[in-house]
Amino acid sequence: MKTLRQLLASKSGLLATVSPDAHVFHALQVMSDANVGAVLVLDEDRLVGIFSERDYARKVILRGKASKDTRVSEIMTDKVLYVTPDQTVDECMAIMTEKHFRHLPVLDEKGKVIGIVSIGDVVKETICAQQFIIEQMEKYITG
């Protein structure tokens, strides 16, 4: 199974990020422009949170707040679970399934953000790996 380092190498290098002082509306624009469901919240280069569609639905809309008046820091998830580049896709899938997360930041050994992995990335890679195994078994059986 691939490591997250290998998975990230196959993704575009662009990270969708916002500052904690940005308004929620701006974060939503960044998410829309990047076609992603979450943005990393960085203070300089330091990860301080993650803001997702789920945060927006539960902490802005349902609480009657306005996205143009609310700062990301007020509603972001600030206790962020992350993974390292040497962890496998399987390990990432297990964490996401257990914790009900759809996005996990990937941090290097120095704590620097090097990417983000979505549940879609993990599922796609898992399907590809299973397809490869099936093809190899078919070749073995018919070969």
At residue 61, does pLDDT exceed 90? no
CATH number for the domain spanning 86: value is 3.10.580.10
Q: Model pTM?
A: 0.88
Residue 139: the pLDDT is 84
Residue 135: the pLDDT is 87
pLDDT, tens digit (0-9, with 9 covering 90-100), for 36-46: 999 999 999 99
Residue 102: the pLDDT is 95
The model's confidence at residue 128, banded by pLDDT at 50, 70 and 90, is confident
Residues 92-121 as b or e (16 or more Cβ within 10 Å = b): bbebbeeeebbbbbbbeeeeebbbbbbbeb
At residue 48, does pLDDT exceed 90? yes
Q: Return the percentage of the chain with pLDDT > 70, whole number.
A: 100
pLDDT, tens digit (0-9, with 9 covering 90-100), for 5-22: 999 998 877 899 999 999
The whole domain housing 12 covers: 4-142
CA-CA distance, 41 to 111, in Å (whole number)? Answer: 14
Handedness of CA 81, 61, 71, 36 (dihedral sign): positive
The model's confidence at residue 47, banded by pLDDT at 50, 70 and 90, is very high
* Mean pLDDT on 82-105: 96
CA-CA distance, 89 to 138, in Å (whole number)? Answer: 24
Q: Compute CA distances 143 → 42, 129, 136, 137, 138, whole Å.
A: 53, 21, 10, 10, 8
Residue 36: the pLDDT is 94
Q: Return the percentage of the chain with pLDDT > 90, whole number.
A: 83
Number of domains in the chain: 1
